[in-house]
C-alpha cells in the first residue's frame, strides 16, 4: 500500500468518484454482515471470513470473496473486525496465527468489536511498530442501525490518519466522532453501555408497573416515548417486549460482556456504579436461565420472574 497514493485527502477525493479499496472483514454476525454489505454497495472490493462460514453466504452471493484471515491480512488495504469478545480480538490480531504479523505496512486495522480499552492500546502499540494504523471503533445502534446504515461510531486512535477511516465509517454511520487516542473509542462505548443498561431496567419496570396498574401498554409506549422518558430502548425494544419478540438485535451474552468490561474499568478508576452492578446481576440471571442468545430486551423475562407475573403478548 503506497502511503502517498492512499493519503487521507486523496482517498476522500477518490472515494467520491468511485474509487475502490481492498477491504477485509472478519466477523459477519448480526451487525457485521449488514455493515459489510454497505461497503460492498459503496463499491469496495471485499474479502470476508467468519468462523461459521455460512454466515458469509449472502455477502459471497453479492460478490464478496471468502478467504482465511491470513490471506485477508496480506491482501487488504484495511482489515475490519466485528467479533464477540476481547479474547477473540486478541487471538485474531495478536495470537500465534494473528493477522497483525501478516498485514502490509501503511495498511489500516479497524476494530468495531466492543472490547477492552487496555487491549485497544496494546494493539495500537504493536501495530505502530509495523507502521500499521490501528483504530478502536465500537458502534451503537444494534441490528436496525446496522441495516439502515445509521450507526453511531465512536473512534479512538491518532488524528493524523483519522479522515481515512472516517470515510469508511460514514458509509454505515449516521454520526462518527474521534473521541481521543487509542482506547478512547472503547471508553466511549463503555459509557454508552452504562446508560443503556440502566435505561433497560427502567423500560422493563415501566411496563410491569403499567401492566399492574391496568394501562394499555402499547398506548403507554406511544405516549411517553414523545416525552422525557423517550429513548431508543423504549421505542424499539419496548415494542419488541410487548410482542414477546426476544430475537437478538444484540445478544445478551455480548451485552453482559460489555457490562463486565465497564465494571472492570470502573473498578480500575475507583468508581462505584451500583446501577450497572444491578444490571449485571439481572443479565447474568437471564443467561443462567438459558437467555444467552436472546436479545437484550429479554431482560423482561428476568423481572417478570422476580415479580411472578408475565405480560400478555400484544400483536
C-alpha grid cell for residue 157?
486512535
Catalytic residue among 121, 189, 257, 301: 189
Q: Is 61 left (phi over 0), alpha (psi -120 to 50) or beta?
A: alpha
Is 147 among the catalytic positions?
Answer: no
Which residues have C-beta within 8 Å of that of residue 281, sequence separation ≥ 6?
none
Let me know: does 77 contact 51? Beta carbons within 8 Å.
no
Which residues have C-beta within 8 Å of that of residue 143, sequence separation ≥ 6?
30, 31, 34, 248, 249, 250
Which residues have C-beta within 8 Å of that of residue 243, sequence separation ≥ 6?
313, 314, 315
Tell me the CA end-to-end span of the chain in Å, nearest whole number: 54
pLDDT in 10s for each residue of the chain, 315 residues? 444 344 443 344 333 334 578 999 999 998 999 999 999 999 999 999 999 999 999 999 999 999 999 999 999 999 999 999 999 999 999 999 999 999 999 999 999 999 999 999 999 999 999 999 999 999 999 889 999 999 999 999 999 999 999 999 999 999 999 999 999 999 999 999 999 999 999 999 999 999 999 999 999 999 999 999 999 999 999 999 999 999 998 999 999 999 999 999 999 999 999 999 999 999 999 999 999 999 999 999 999 999 999 999 998
What residues does 71 pair with on adjacent strands?
none
Residue 229 has φ and ψ, to the nearest 5°, of -80, -10
Three-state DSSP class for residue 171: coil
Cα distances from 183 to residues 115, 161, 164, 271, in angstroms, run 9, 16, 18, 18
C-alpha grid cell for residue 128?
505502530
pLDDT at 315: 87
Burial of 213 (0-12, 13-18, 19+ CB in 10 A): exposed
Amino acid at each position: 500500500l503506497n502511503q502517498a497514493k492512499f493519503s487521507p485527502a486523496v482517498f476522500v477525493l477518490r472515494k467520491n468518484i468511485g474509487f475502490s479499496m481492498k477491504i477485509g472483514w472478519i466477523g459477519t454476525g448480526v451487525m457485521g454482515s449488514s455493515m459489510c454489505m454497505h461497503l460492498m454497495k459503496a463499491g469496495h472490493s471485499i474479502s470476508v471470513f467468519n468462523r461459521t462460514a455460512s454466515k458469509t453466504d449472502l455477502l459471497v452471493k453479492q460478490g464478496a470473496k471468502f478467504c482465511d484471515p491470513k490471506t485477508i491480512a496480506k491482501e487488504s488495504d484495511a482489515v475490519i473486525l466485528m467479533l464477540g469478545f476481547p479474547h477473540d480480538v486478541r487471538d485474531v490480531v495478536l495470537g500465534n496465527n494473528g493477522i497483525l504479523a501478516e498485514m502490509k505496512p501503511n495498511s489500516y486495522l479497524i476494530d468495531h468489536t466492543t472490547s477492552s480499552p487496555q487491549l485497544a492500546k496494546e494493539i495500537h502499540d504493536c501495530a505502530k511498530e509495523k507502521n500499521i494504523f490501528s483504530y478502536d471503533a465500537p458502534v451503537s445502534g444494534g441490528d436496525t442501525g446496522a441495516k439502515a446504515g445509521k450507526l453511531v461510531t465512536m473512534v479512538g486512535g491518532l488524528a493524523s490518519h483519522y479522515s481515512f477511516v472516517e470515510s469508511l465509517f460514514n458509509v454505515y454511520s449516521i454520526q462518527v466522532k474521534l473521541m481521543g487516542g487509542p482506547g478512547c473509542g472503547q471508553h466511549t462505548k463503555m459509557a454508552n453501555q452504562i446508560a443503556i443498561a440502566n435505561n433497560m431496567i427502567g423500560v422493563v419496570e415501566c411496563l410491569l408497573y403499567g401492566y399492574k396498574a391496568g394501562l394499555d401498554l402499547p398506548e403507554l409506549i406511544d405516549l411517553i416515548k414523545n416525552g422525557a422518558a423517550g429513548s431508543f430502548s423504549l421505542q424499539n425494544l419496548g415494542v419488541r417486549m410487548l410482542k414477546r419478540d426476544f430475537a437478538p438485535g444484540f445478544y445478551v451474552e455480548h451485552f453482559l460482556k460489555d457490562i463486565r468490561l465497564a465494571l472492570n474499568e470502573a473498578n480500575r478508576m475507583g468508581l462505584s456504579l451500583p446501577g450497572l452492578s444491578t444490571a449485571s446481576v439481572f443479565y447474568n440471571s437471564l443467561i443462567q436461565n438459558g437467555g444467552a442468545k436472546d436479545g437484550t430486551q429479554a431482560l423482561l423475562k428476568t423481572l417478570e420472574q422476580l415479580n411472578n407475573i408475565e405480560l400478555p403478548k400484544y400483536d
